[in-house]
Amino acid sequence: MADLKVLGISGSLRKASYNTAILKVCAELMPAGMTMTYARIDDLPLFNQDVFDAGLPEPAKRFRAEVTAADGVLIASPEYNFSLSAALKNAIDWGSRPPNQSWQDKPVAIFSASGGPMGGARVQYDLRRILGQLWAHVLPRPEVFVGSVASKVDPQGRVTDEATRKFLTDLLVGFKVWIERMQVKK
């Protein structure tokens, strides 16, 4: 069986993003039989139905194709003002429009990291609600919230906290099973 192709999306555009750093660590923690590539969302124009109707911009075409081609999508999301970042919402919107809505029946896993003690817990509920309405299949558990993230990721982007590494590993193992389960149902 070929490796499961996972598309990693970070909802943060910041160069020193903790969410992006942890997403890259996830590529190392994946169980055998999974590989990850990363989506770029920083070049997507703001969603506008008029632009969509006139013809998809190249970055939007690329993003939609990447989501469609992936066996599953792993989203790392910061929490901005108790919700998701504008960049991540914009990317979801570009993939959500018919025809060939990119999120339809797509297995998705989510984790969040923040400087606060709750680890971005509130953003995950918004993401689950939005993606569920697009018929994406969001892994229900384990839920991973990395709170006080600055104490768990070093300046080189390595996760130094063993409990966090274990939570992420458990998420990825569960995500592999989730993707395989969704593939059987197709």
> What are the tens digits of pLDDT across the range 56-65?
999 999 999 9
Q: Contact, 145 vs 125, CB < 8 A?
A: no
Tell me the C-alpha distance between 122 and 79, whole Å. Answer: 7
Mean pLDDT rounded to a whole number for the chain: 96
- For 10, the domain range is 4-185
> What are the tens digits of pLDDT across the range 140-180?
999 999 999 999 999 999 999 999 999 999 999 999 999 99
CA nearest to 76, candidates 151, 144, 178, 4: 144
Tell how far CA 184 is from the center of its chain: 22
> What are the tens digits of pLDDT across the range 91-137?
999 999 988 999 999 999 999 999 999 999 999 999 999 999 999 99
**Structural domain total, the chain:** 1
Q: What is the dihedral of CA 7, 8, 12, 17, to 10 degrees?
A: -150
Stretch 72-76: mean pLDDT: 98
Tell me the C-alpha distance between 77 and 74, whole Å. Answer: 10
- The sign one gets for the Cα dihedral 105, 114, 90, 24 is negative
Token pair in block for residue 105: 């029946």
CATH label of the domain that carries residue 139: 3.40.50.360
Tell me the C-alpha distance between 62 and 2, whole Å. Answer: 23
Please spell the DSSP secondary structure of 133-184, one letter per residue.
HTT-EE--S--EEE-SGGGTB-TTS-B--HHHHHHHHHHHHHHHHHHHHHHH
